Structure formats: structure tokens, C-alpha cells
């Protein structure tokens, strides 16, 4: 009988896994919720369970240390013990945190299939812990749930077997679809307090990424921009780690210089959606990944305070903008965004992350594939190991015909200019296809 274990450790993971857990409950599938304790703060964790209507975790591993290697090793040890006790058919986690890496490594060590939700996102910046985590996790996954076509292409290009990869959309959009209709029914006291205090146009801001918060120069530049921008109010939902560093770097006095800069604790998810959807919210300023998707779906322009993003589709459509971490650049970009009309851009933007039904697709795939999820020993390769070749198509040809004619697997494809593209059922003349010889 199918049983699923969900591993989560941070606020975004709770929000993104909630739609799958709701669907599991609807289908009456046996399941277990495991909290690593990575973010076990009343506002960041336990209150989020209540606000989205999830039951409390079945296990809280209470991993308290913040030292990265000790945190990872303690999570692996404790997760392994729980897996052996619960014996799930498959473990699911979402994203790119230490909890996600630990959950996949513990699966490898205990021989339990692992499914990665939000697979294939890439910033191509290996200085980011998140980028290192997601790459490692994707290559260890039994089944990968990619949120977009671009994510599928990324996984293809890394040589991951196509049969393990499935484009499902992202559960972030599921969460918005589910909760945006409930914000008038749910308790959104946190948003109501903010909107009562800030009763004019505002920029909604979140800053929490390690590269910004724990880099004094970067944080000073961001704070300087927030202090110098006085055209409208700024609602800064401030992460505990960010507040700690602001106090450590003695920046809280500087922030008081802008009377229109309001600091609030992180809010529950329905409250966040209420703020995002509100007519007075002009712009999102963030270094978050998920908030870029949420802003795009809810048609709010986004300024991403990072040199790169794993959501490039939003940047290409010019509804999300990357900015150099310099106060002058941030202020210049805010002014530019606020001076433009985004109605046409949003009217022509089709979200690449699905229409809000990824959780159903993910469970359909698991129910139809769970007996086949475990890794199998590879077949013998004639050359002694994998042998990749690149074919250039002289004529158009169906994918299945190429497989039969060349006795190979198709791994990835590129257009005539060498740019990666989705592996279609029919390859065109001029396309290049990377194959794996059997």
C-alpha cells in the first residue's frame, strides 16, 4: 500500500507542500509529516501550519544547531531513524534547503525512493548554498517534478534520465489558487494590522538571503536604499536572521531615519497574499525565490535584489528585474518600475509554472509509478560505461524513430544555434540531439 512521508523544515516548504498534503488527505493515502526543526519559530513554522489548515507534524526532529555541517549530519541521522520506523513508499520534499538535501541523502542511505518537488530550477551560481543543494538533490532523486519547461531542459542537460523527469507545474501556484479565494474567510489579522497602519501606497519588501543578510556591505546598501526611498511607504517583513544582523551591524538607528519604512514580523500565508493582492501594493522588492513566482501570478512587478535568479522566465518577460546590490542602482530601478505601465505585460504573461494543479499531477504520477521508483542497476554498456554522442539532424525525424535507428536514449536537444531546447516528439532539420548509446 502506498504511503508518503513529507519532510519540511522552513516556512516556504510548509506552504509549498500543503497543497500536496491536502490532496493526499482527499485521496486517503497514508502519510507522515516530518519537521526537521530548521526553522522552528512560532511565526515561521508552527503558526504557519495553523494558518494554512495543516495538522501538526507527526515528528519534530528539533535540530537546533545552525552550524551547516552539523545541522546536515544531525538531520540525516534523525531522518534515517524515522524512515526506518515509518517505512514510507516514497519521501517528498520541496525546494533547496538543508532539510531537502538531508531528506534525499537519508533516503539514499536507507534505500527509500525520493521525489523532489521543484526540481530543475537553476541560478547557475554555485556560490549559493541553495544552488549546490538543488543540484545534488536532483541527481539523487528517484522521480523529479519540474515546475516549468526550462527546469526540464536544465535536468536534460545534466544527463538525468528523461523517464525520471516530469513537468508538473509548481505547487506555489496551487497554494495561491487555494488560498487567494479564502483570504476573506481566513483570519488575516496580521495583514489587517499592517493595512490599517499603512493606509497608502506601499512597496512590499522581504530580505533574508544569506548572501545579502550576512554580507555587511550588501545589507548596508539595501538598508540605505530603503531609507532613501521616500516616495511611498515600504512594508518590510523582516526575517529574524535579518533583524539579528541589522542589530549586529548597528543599522536599526539608520532605518529610523525613514518614517515611511515600516518593519513587521513575517506574516501568515493568507495575510501575505492579502498584502500582495491589495490595490495599494505597487511593487515587490525581495531576494526570495518563491515570492518572484507569487508576484508574477498576482500581477505585481518584482525587483529581485540578486545578481541571478532560478526563475528567469519572469525576467525575460520584464515583469521581474534583477538589480545590482548598490543603493543607487536599487533606487534607480524602483523609480523606473513605478514609472511604467505593466498592464500589457501581465496581460500577455502566461505563467510557466502551471495553473495551480501541480499537486494532483504529482500524486497521479506517484500512484502510477511508485512501484518503479527505486533505482535499478544500469544495463551493460558496450563501451564499459555511458557513451554520449551528438547527432545533427539532416532531416526531420520522430524521436522514437531515432531511438530505434541508433539504438540509443535521447538525453537533450539544442537548436541550430546551440541553445538548449525542450526535447520534442519530433526533431527538426538542423536540431542537435545528445544521445546515450546502449
Question: Which of the residues are catalytic?
Answer: 208
The burial of 55, by beta-carbon neighbours within 10 Å (0-12 exposed, 13-18 middle, 19 or more buried), is given as: exposed
User: Do the bridges between strand 397-398 and strand 387-392 make them parallel or antiparallel, or are there none, so unpaired?
Assistant: unpaired
> Inter-axis angle of helices 216-228 and 327-338, to 10 degrees?
40
H-helix or E-strand spanning residue 257? none
Cell of 33: 509529516
> Phi and psi of 412, rounded to 5°?
-155, 165
* Cβ contacts of 379-386, under 8 Å, gap ≥ 24: 379/438, 381/437, 381/438, 382/437, 382/438, 383/437, 386/436
d(CA 50, CA 53): 5
> Inter-axis angle of helices 11-26 and 171-180, to 10 degrees?
80
Q: How far is CA 147 from the centre of its chain?
A: 9
> Phi and psi of 22, rounded to 5°?
-60, -45
Sign, Cα dihedral of 301, 305, 307, 309: negative
DSSP 113-155: -EEEETTT-----TTSHHHHHHHHHHHH-SEEEESSHHHHHHH
Do residues 225 and 197 make contact, with C-beta atoms less than 8 angstroms apart?
A: no
Amino acid at each position: 500500500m502506498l504511503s508518503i512521508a513529507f519532510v519540511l523544515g522552513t516556512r516556504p516548504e510548509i506552504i509549498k507542500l500543503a497543497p500536496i498534503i491536502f490532496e493526499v488527505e482527499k485521496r486517503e493515502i497514508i502519510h507522515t509529516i516530518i519537521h526537521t526543526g530548521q526553522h522552528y519559530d512560532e511565526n515561521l513554522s508552527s503558526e504557519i501550519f495553523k494558518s494554512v489548515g495543516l495538522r501538526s507534524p507527526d515528528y519534530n526532529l528539533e535540530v537546533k544547531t545552525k552550524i551547516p555541517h552539523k545541522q546536515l549530519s544531525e538531520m540525516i541521522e534523525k531522518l534515517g531513524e524515522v524512515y526506518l520506523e515509518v517505512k514510507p513508499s516514497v519521501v517528498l520534499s520541496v525546494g533547496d534547503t538543508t532539510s531537502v538535501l538531508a531528506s534525499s541523502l537519508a533516503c539514499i542511505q536507507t534505500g527509500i525512493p525520493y521525489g523532489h518537488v521543484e526540481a530543475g530550477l537553476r541560478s547557475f551560481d554555485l556560490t549559493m548554498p541553495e544552488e549546490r543543494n538543488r543540484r545534488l538533490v536532483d541527481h539523487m532523486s528517484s522521480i523529479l517534478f519540474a515546475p516549468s519547461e526550462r527546469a526540464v531542459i536544465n535536468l536534460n542537460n545534466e544527463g538525468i534520465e528523461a523517464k525520471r523527469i516530469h513537468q508538473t507545474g509548481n505547487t506555489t501556484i496551487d497554494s495561491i489558487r487555494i488560498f487567494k479565494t479564502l483570504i476573506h474567510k481566513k483570519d488575516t489579522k496580521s495583514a489587517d494590522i499592517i493595512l490599517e497602519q499603512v493606509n497608502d501606497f506601499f512597496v512590499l519588501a522581504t530580505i533574508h538571503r544569506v548572501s545579502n543578510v550576512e554580507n555587511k556591505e550588501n545589507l548596508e546598501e539595501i538598508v540605505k536604499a530603503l531609507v532613501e526611498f521616500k516616495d511611498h511607504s515600504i512594508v518590510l517583513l523582516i526575517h529574524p536572521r535579518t533583524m539579528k544582523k541589522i542589530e549586529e551591524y548597528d543599522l536599526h538607528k539608520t532605518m529610523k531615519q525613514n518614517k515611511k519604512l515600516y518593519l513587521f514580523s513575517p506574516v501568515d500565508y493568507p495575510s501575505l497574499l492579502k498584502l500582495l493582492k491589495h490595490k495599494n501594493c505597487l511593487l515587490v522588492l525581495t531576494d526570495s525565490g518563491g515570492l518572484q513566482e507569487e508576484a508574477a501570478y498576482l500581477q505585481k512587478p518584482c525587483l529581485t535584489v540578486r545578481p541571478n535568479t532560478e526563475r528567469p522566465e519572469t525576467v525575460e518577460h520584464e515583469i521581474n528585474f534583477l538589480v545590482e546590490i548598490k543603493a543607487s542602482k536599487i533606487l534607480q530601478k524602483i523609480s523606473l518600475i513605478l514609472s511604467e505601465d505593466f498592464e500589457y505585460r501581465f496581460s500577455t504573461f502566461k505563467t510557466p509554472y502551471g495553473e495551480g494543479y501541480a499537486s494532483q499531477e504529482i500524486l497521479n504520477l506517484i500512484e502510477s509509478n511508485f512501484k518503479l521508483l527505486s533505482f535499478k542497476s544500469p544495463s551493460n554498456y558496450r563501451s564499459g560505461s555511458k557513451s554520449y554522442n551528438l547527432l545533427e539532424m539532416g532531416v526531420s525525424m520522430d524521436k522514437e524513430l531515432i531511438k530505434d535507428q541508433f539504438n540509443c536514449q535521447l538525453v537533450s536537444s539544442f537548436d541550430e544555434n546551440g541553445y538548449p531546447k525542450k526535447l520534442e516528439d519530433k526533431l527538426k532539420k538542423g536540431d542537435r540531439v545528445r544521445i546515450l548509446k546502449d
